[in-house]
Structure 1
Amino acid sequence: MQKVNFKNLTTTELNEFISKAAEELTKRANKSPRVITARKKVIEDAKSDLENLKDSTMCDGYEVGSYATVPEYHINRKKRVVTVLLKGYRSGRIYAKGIAKCDPRDTFNEHIGKAIALYRALSKKVPTKYLTVENPVEPEIGDIILTSYPEFKNERIRVVKSMSEAMADDAAMLRSPVVKNFTFIVDDSKSA
């Protein structure tokens, strides 16, 4: 994310900046449908892996050694970390622990984090698709964005309308090419 002091720019420099931002957005827009579809598929795969890794002979939980365990997930959105504790079905004893930390350059998603943490807790190889999924380009309803635009400096904002439908003044400002260039989608889990 590029930081620019707009106060020090001449009109010509500002126009050049806006043109470059518009070009970048066009590139993102052309790439966007493929990225969105691929990312949504990976998120759906992560959700189904949470079910598919269960062992039906182990009380519909997960097998750790010869123990039947149930997962207890801890999601820290601020630190962008998901932890899973696999506890004994009856004893409550912790038999395994898995941690997934989101890279600061990536968009956090709790479902992908849960899948990564679970694979690690079960001592299984984490599928590459979870570690290399592309970040979303266009914010959607329910996403949390972080912007470095001066008006909203480092504020976390939950998108309540799609960018194309946004009507409020703040949302309209967020649609502008200059502002969108300063926006990063922090969390696309779509949950509180």
Structure 2
Amino acid sequence: MMAKVFGGAEGSETYRKFSYSVEFLPDRKKRKVTALIRRTSDIDPRHVGRAKAAPSDCFNVHIGKAIALRRALGLAVPDEYLNAPQPTEVRVGDVVEGHAVKDTALVISDDAWPPISGAWVPLKYARQYEFRIIDDSREEVGE
């Protein structure tokens, strides 16, 4: 854990103060996350940080939030965030795409009811046909 430096030169002014709020704006279609830091009494953000997944990488909203926040705070982003290992096994809640068709689908458990809207694929088929994982955030799915 990083120690907070008061009155030092580490990070932006926002990093050294306490009266700020952070809003995260994830955009799964564009595969990016934006962090907006505002003073609690302001409407406009004081600092903005952005993180965007490379086209060949799997998008993960949690890693994106960490990168965007550090950039907004004026802090260095650790290599572990930028070079996080890619997932190797499909799990329930991942978003995948097929090899021949570029449509995306949510992976559901083999015995689950399909969602009311949106494309989906059972876990066994996602594994069998080796679909590529494009988003492993799994925010909506309990494990």
Q: State the TM bucket, normalised to the shorter chain.
A: 0.7 to 0.9
2:111 maps to 1:111:
no
Quote the Cα distance in structure 2 between the aligned partners of 1:111 and 1:131: 12
Distance 1:111 1:53 in 2: 22
1:185 aligns with 2:136: no
Determine the structure 1 residue equivalent to 2:9. Answer: none
Show the counterpart of 1:35: none
SS at match of 1:145: strand
Structural mapping, 1:18-33, within 5 Å: none
Number of aligned pairs? Answer: 124
Match of 2:93 in 1: 142
1:117 CA displacement: 0.2
Name the CA distance, whole Å, in 1 between partners of 2:64 and 2:4: 17
Return the match for 2:74 from 104, 123, 127: 123
Q: Does 2:127 align with 1:175?
A: yes
Displacement of 1:54: 8.9
Instruction: Tell me the distance in 2 between the aligned counterparts of 1:185 and 1:53.
Output: 36
Deviation of 1:189 (Å): 0.7
How many angstroms apart in 1 are the aligned matches of 2:98 and 2:72?
34
RMSD: 2.7
SS of match in other structure, 1:94: coil
TM norm structure 1: 0.57
Contact 1:116–1:130 under 8 Å retained in 2: yes
Per the normalisation by structure 2, the TM-score is 0.75
- Equivalences for residues 1-192 of structure 1 within 5 A: 64=14, 68-149=19-100, 153-161=101-109, 166=110, 171=122, 172-176=124-128, 179-180=129-130, 183-192=131-140
SS in 1 for 2:19: strand
Q: Post-superposition, which runs of at least 4 consecutive aligned residues in structure 1 deviate over 6 A?
A: 52-55
Contact 1:63-1:69 at 8 Å conserved across structures:
no
Shift of 1:67: 6.9
Higher helix proportion (structure 1 or 2): 1
Unmatched 5+ residue regions in structure 2?
6-11, 113-120
Distance 1:140 1:120, change over 3 A: same
Structure whose CA Rg is larger: 1
